[in-house]
Amino acid sequence: MSGASIRVRVQAEPFDLGAEANAFAAGIAQAGAVVTFTGLVRDNGGQLQAMEIEHYPGMTERAITAMVAEAKARFALEDALVIHRFGRLAAQEPIMMVATAARHRGDAFAAAEFLMDYLKSRAPFWKKEISASGADWVAAREADEAALERWQG
Amino acid sequence: MRVTVLYFAWLRERIGAPREEVDTSAATVADLVAELAAGSEGHALAFADLTSLRVALDQELADFAAPLAGVREVAFFPPMTGG
């Protein structure tokens, strides 16, 4: 794989964080910094039986690809990778990961945060928590919306 | 004009279908919402509070005042919870 590409994967299958991070870092010639972030299914108080993630096929890939392109326009990135799962997941399973590569760490950290803030509120995913007491759609948090403001204007 | 209307998450559950084909002369998203809400009790309930809904036109986020001319796919859903 060459550098300066956009890699976006939306999948039901699990992914191997270590293998993905190693393959990502190995594919970049010019980078001095690689940042990865991984989101796991959080089990609040041990009650969670499963998390179901719904998405909007087509728009999801399109929205994330646009976010990565925007991150590349804002930060000096060599490469970026986004993997996001959908379907039924168990507690502690990885939901998604972001990896960014840059010549210096500042751009890699900032781009990873930028991508995470946008993925939270602008990628068409919806989470539902299944527990013994029933199923509840996860509500969007105001803090997530507020996090976008620092990148705007 | 014929458009495909998609619903996601609790909106899909409340309406009881993931999609429907709609013949409409609505000029804007808001006009389309008014037509849909008049169609059934489930629709009326689902569209009762637009501040809790988002809309995408041909897979791009839009607002409720946006014109529908030329649009083929309209999706309604709650605020997104990715990441």
> What is the residue extent of each domain of chain B?
2-77
Q: What mean pLDDT value characterizes chain A?
A: 93
Q: Give the model's pLDDT for residue A45.
A: 82
Tell me what the mean pLDDT of segment A2-25 comes to.
Answer: 86
Q: Are B56 and A59 in contact (CB < 8 Å)?
A: yes
What's the DSSP call for residue B70? T
* pLDDT higher than 60, residue A5: no
Kindly report the backbone phi and psi dihedral angles of residue A131, in degrees, each rounded to the nearest multiple of 5, phi listed first.
-135, 175
Query: Please, which residues have CB within 8 angstroms of residue A142's CB and are 6 or more apart in sequence?
Result: none
Interface ipTM: 0.95
| CATH code assigned to B2-77 | 3.10.20.30
Check CB contact under 8 Å for B10 and A137.
yes
Contact between B80 and A124 using a beta-carbon 8 Å cutoff: yes
* Nearest neighbour of A137 by CB, restricted to B6, B75, B78: B78
The shortest C-alpha distance from B52 to chain A (Å) reads: 10
Residue B32 near residue B53, CB atoms below 8 Å: no
Instruction: Suggest the residue from A61, A96, A121, A126 to mutate for an interface test with chain B (most B CBs closer than 10 A).
Output: A126
Tell me the β-bridge partners of A102.
A33, A77
Contact A137 B82 (CB under 8 A): no
Query: Any CB–CB contact under 8 A between B83 and chain A?
Result: yes
Asked whether residue A73 carries a pLDDT value surpassing 60, the answer given is yes
CA B9/CA A128 separation, integer angstroms:
8
Judged against a pLDDT cut of 50, whether residue A118 lies above it is answered with yes
Of the listed ranges A27-31, A52-56, B72-76, the least confidently predicted one is A27-31
Report pLDDT digits (tens) over B16-73. 999 999 999 999 999 999 999 999 999 999 999 999 999 999 999 999 999 999 999 9
Give the model's pLDDT for residue A145. Answer: 87
> What distance in Å separates the CA atoms of residue B53 and residue B79, rounded to the nearest whole number?
6
Name the percent of chain A lying above pLDDT 90: 79
Residue numbers in A near B77 (CB within 8 A):
56, 124, 126
Beta-carbon separation of A121 and B75 below 8 A = no
- What is residue B51's predicted lDDT score, i.e. its pLDDT? 92
**B59·A122 Cβ contact <8 A:** no
Q: From B12, which residue of chain A is nearest by alpha-carbon distance?
A: A54
Q: What is the per-residue pLDDT across A93-103, written as a single tens digit (0 to 9) for each? A: 999 999 999 99
Give the pLDDT confidence score for residue A3 in this predicted structure: 42
Copy the structure tokens of residue A35. Answer: 């940042």
**Whether residue A25 has pLDDT greater than 90:** yes
From edge to edge, which strands make up the β-sheet containing A87-89?
Answer: A87-89, A48-55, A125-131, A134-137
Confidence of residue A30 (pLDDT cuts 50, 70, 90): confident
Domains and their CATH numbers in chain A: 6-149 (3.90.1170.40)
Q: Phi and psi at residue B65, in whole multiples of 5°?
A: -90, -5
Q: Which of B80, B82, B77 is nearest to A95 (CA)?
A: B82
Closest chain B residue by Cα to residue A115:
B83
Burial class (CB in 10 A: 0-12, 13-18, 19+), A33: middle
Q: Which of A134-138, A141-145, B25-29, B35-39 has the lowest mean pLDDT?
A: A141-145
B59 contacts in chain A (CB < 8 Å): 56, 58-59, 62-63
Which of A60, A96, A125 to mutate to probe the B interface, most B CBs <10 Å? Answer: A125
Is the CB of B75 inside 8 Å of chain A's CB atoms? yes
Q: Which residues partner with A36 through β-bridges?
A: A99
pLDDT band at A6 (very low <50, low <70, confident <90, very high): low
The single-letter DSSP state of residue A115 is H
